[in-house]
Amino acid sequence: MFTVRESFALKTGWFSPSVGVQLDPEQTGFIAVENFTSLAEHHELQLDPSKLEMLLALVQSNEHGDVCYQELIELLNSKRSSSFRRAIANGRRTLQREILLDETGLGVYKRFVRYVAYEILPCETDRRWYFHQTKLCPPPVFMAILTVVQIIVFMCYGVMLNKWVLQTYQPDFMKSPLVYHPGHRAQIWRFFSYMFMHVGLEQLGFNALLQLMIGVPLEMVHGILRISLLYMAGVIAGSLTVSITDMRAPVVGGSGGVYALCSAHLANVVMNWAGMKCPYKLLRMVLALVCMSSEVGRAVWLRFSPPLPSSGPQPSFMAHLSGAVVGISMGLLILRSYEESLHKQCSWWVLIFSFITFLLFAIFWNIFAYELLGVQIPPPP
């Protein structure tokens, strides 16, 4: 039996050099399966049952009789690593436990965490892992703060313009330093800041609802870094796509980021249809597609509907489509890589290279193409 100090190290996920020497006396970087099994089964301190399940599964799935010391440390610290998937694959076959829905006596927060697990994750073992290791801190603040800021900005302009629907028909709306306008494309922040402005109450309500209903659960499961990266990639791809394909049009609204999140989630649900256990998933899928299509249709109608205001063309709808492309490509890979390192996947670097190539092309396009093509840009307000 190992010492209390070693058990404490296992409990906390922290290994001191002396404990490492005892677990790996020959300094090979690997721990013998029998030593680790003895430690895991006879340790004196209580260990997270889901984490212990993963550790034992990792040992049992090993064909060489040893466990990589670094992978063990990463798994104990809940870091994403390739060992997680191997543990999951074996744990599903050999370590049967009751499904998460059978858990009783849960508080309000834990019931909400369980609901999120079934909404987002397609595998029962993944759901159990997330349920047991998730913590209230840090909370999903990115989506919440972003939505609050968008509402505040909209209310300020609504009061100032005394208009709450189709605000873009007000000339003063386009004078905002947040709106992307092709005449102001040298002001780089506009390629991002347009996400805080909205055409009217209908667009803001649609985006805010999806950000809270889909974005918050995604952020809870996959973390603020990954979901904020996906959202902002959709936003910047939206404005740059408009600057290439609809060169005379401005852009407002967070639809690029929203469609990146929604498209990624819907694609993940479709590809893992059998494993997803969220209730009424077919009906909800149809309703989501109808709502998203209706929003795109509204944006297309607004872009080409006469009469045009004196300020020029209405905002483009291409940000919606480019956001969806980002979600189906980059976003789907992010959502399918729960508890796995993205930087260790070749497909992730292919996507990053493709996105950077698109960014460079768009930058050169904005610098040279407008003059070379002789595009008549509406005068900036």
CA–chain centroid gap for 289, Å, is: 19
Burial 301-330 (b: 16+ CB within 10 A, else e): ebbeeeeeeebbbbbbbbbbbbbbbbbbbb
Tokens of 224: 């603020």
Residue with the two structure tokens 């313009």 = 161
Kind plus residue range of the DSSP H or E element containing 22: helix 17-23
Does residue 306 have a cis bond before it (omega within 30 degrees)?
no
Q: How far apart are CA 90 and CA 58, in angstroms?
A: 7
Q: Of residues 255, 263, 316, 329, which has the active-site annotation?
A: 255
Q: Which amino acid is at 270?
A: V
CB 224 within 8 A of CB 142: yes
Residue 306 zone, left/alpha/beta (φ > 0; ψ -120 to 50; rest): beta
Q: Rounded to 5 degrees, what angle do the CA atoms 82, 324, 302 make?
A: 165
Q: Of residues 61, 222, 320, 322, which has the active-site annotation?
A: 320
Q: How far is CA 147 from CA 22, 163, 195, 201, 318, in A?
A: 51, 20, 10, 13, 22
Coil/strand/helix, residue 67: strand
CB 78 within 8 A of CB 99: no
Tokens of 266: 């819907």
Q: How far apart are CA 91 and CA 315, in angstroms?
A: 51
Q: Rounded to 5 degrees, what angle do the CA atoms 362, 365, 366 make?
A: 90
Q: Is 42 a catalytic residue?
A: no
Q: Is 343 a catalytic residue?
A: no
Residues marked active site are found at 255, 320
